Amino acid sequence: MKKLLGYRRAASLVRGFGKARVLVAGDLIMDHFIWGRVTRISPEAPVPVVQVTKETVLLGGSANVVNNISCLGAKVYATGVIGNDRDGRKLKSMLVKKGIESDGIIVDRRRQTTVKTRVIAHHQQVVRFDREEKDRIAKAVAEKVLRYIEKTVKRVDVIVVSDYAKGMVTEEFANEVRRLAKGRPVIVDPKVEHFSWYKGFTAITPNNLEASRASGVDIKDDASLRKAGRILLSKLGCEAILITKGEHGMSLFEEGSETHIPTVAREVFDVSGAGDTVVGTFALSVAAGADFKEAAGMSNLAAGIVVEKIGTAVVTPDELIKAAARLLR
């Protein structure tokens, strides 16, 4: 890590976050957590009985990317679709309370807001259930999102597309974002079934499984990882592919070079939302003037912080500076 990114450079980038401006487009999700403890097995079925102690709601999906970028001090613009329901109103309200303008949040009265509910007991996820509609967003609604992007793009340094395959990102939408970007970097957190749509974007940040499936290579060692990275780089024509590997760190592939970054997490409690932190920090670092290697290093630091937390978490500038001081000096 020290060869990739020194402490002074990391600290300089963090200080520059406050001047950066990022637009995030994608699938807005509400993360609902039910917390409790298990003391017995149900007499009705061989399942744990969770005694609920509290419930929390957090920003998820592309809204979590927005939250991560905002918490790191940047100006962030959010756009996507919510339903005309309690969860949608709550999501919008949470963004507004964080100082994020709501003009890009489009309400679709015929659609429900996507909600992921996780039951967690003793720091372990017991079960997750989703309430969602995955059909593509209606054309008239998608056009409102694109009009917002067209209006806002001139104010930003970088665009993030956060694709959770909930209907917001379609091939037509991706093509329009590419056109509207007008040369600005576009960073994509992808879904594997949509990889062909991301041709020509600046960078994508798939996880190990997504990279394996999209490349057709069974990633099981360093050699197969390198092969998968090179295939994706060639197939998509991106400038960079950042493959996240959980507890094994990250690998960055660029034309003519590859960089393997070990994890900095001391202990992994929860990976929920870690991909959002990675793409958000990577894009924000690029907006602040980092090259791809430096941006990957910053993303790795941020990911190492969030996976040590329970639930959909974010990173603060102070936490990032402290991690850099501990690991990069």
Task: For 96-133, write each residue's pLDDT tens digit.
Answer: 999 998 999 999 999 999 999 999 998 888 999 999 98
Q: What percent of the chain has pLDDT over 70?
A: 95
Tell me, what's the pLDDT at 53?
95
Residue 11 confidence (pLDDT): 95
**According to the model, what pLDDT value does residue 271 have?**
60
CB 312, CB 60: distance < 8 Å: yes
pLDDT recorded at residue 184: 97
d(CA 297, CA 260): 10
Q: Residue ranges of the domains in the chain?
A: 7-30+60-115+132-328
What amino acid is encoded at 283 in this protein?
A
Please tell me the predicted confidence (pLDDT) of residue 233: 95
Number of other CB atoms surrounding residue 28 within 10 Å: 33
Residues in the chain predicted with pLDDT less than 70, given as ranges, are 1-3, 265-273, 310-312
- pLDDT, averaged across the chain: 92
Of the candidates 254, 252, 222, the one whose C-alpha atom is nearest the C-alpha of residue 238 is: 254
User: What is the reported pLDDT for 172?
Assistant: 97
Give the pLDDT of residue 268.
56
CATH of 7-30+60-115+132-328, one of 3.30.1330.10, 3.90.45.10, 3.40.1190.20, 3.40.50.150: 3.40.1190.20
Buried b (16+ CB within 10 A) or exposed e, 274-304: bbbbbbbbbbbbbbbebebbbbbbbbbbbbb
**The pLDDT value given to residue 269:** 53
- The catalytic residues are 276
C-alpha closest to that of 29 among 78, 77, 76, 74: 78
